Amino acid sequence: MKIMVSACLLGQNCKYNGGNNYSEKVAEVIAETLGCKTKSVSVAIKDIPEENWKEQVWDKSIVPDDQYLYKRPEYTCD
């Protein structure tokens, strides 16, 4: 069985204009939730391999910036 998955579903920019279908919606939800303008919101997604997650993300961003998290992860990297 062959399965095809659109690159757009994987978060890649694949629209005719170089954009995607989700970043504007994410920005709109954030702006509405926080009461700010969408031009004040940036959306970035970076794929980090699972084997590098603890070193590149958990130890460098999540643990040191815990006090700024509005929602903490429901997992640990112990």
Q: Is the pLDDT of residue 60 over 80?
A: yes
> What number is the average pLDDT over the span 38-47?
85
Q: Is the pLDDT of residue 71 over 70?
A: yes
Contact at 8 Å (CB) between 63 and 44? no
CA distances from 45 to 2, 17, 20, 23 (A): 27, 18, 12, 9
pTM > 0.75? no
